[in-house]
Amino acid sequence: MLIIFVKGSAEDKAQLMFDMYDIERQGRISAEEFKSMIASMVDAANANDVSHSDVDQLVATMLHSAGVKDHV
């Protein structure tokens, strides 16, 4: 896991994060799981100026842009 974070491509890192949140190994995550994943990335980046409401808005915008209906 550490090697992927250090040397992996952006796609490798995104896949690793996805796999960490796809606990039931269904190949998909819920909107809440996606929000938790994004919040975790923000925390890992020490982006202290990004609030939880900013993350909520970001995720809502991303899901809307992707055409996902009935998101949180």
Rounded Cα–Cα distance for residues 18 and 21 (Å): 5
Written as tens digits, the pLDDT of the chain (72 aa) is: 778 878 888 888 888 888 888 888 888 888 888 888 888 888 877 777 888 888 889 888 988 888 887 655
Q: C-alpha angle 47/52/57, rounded to 5°? A: 105
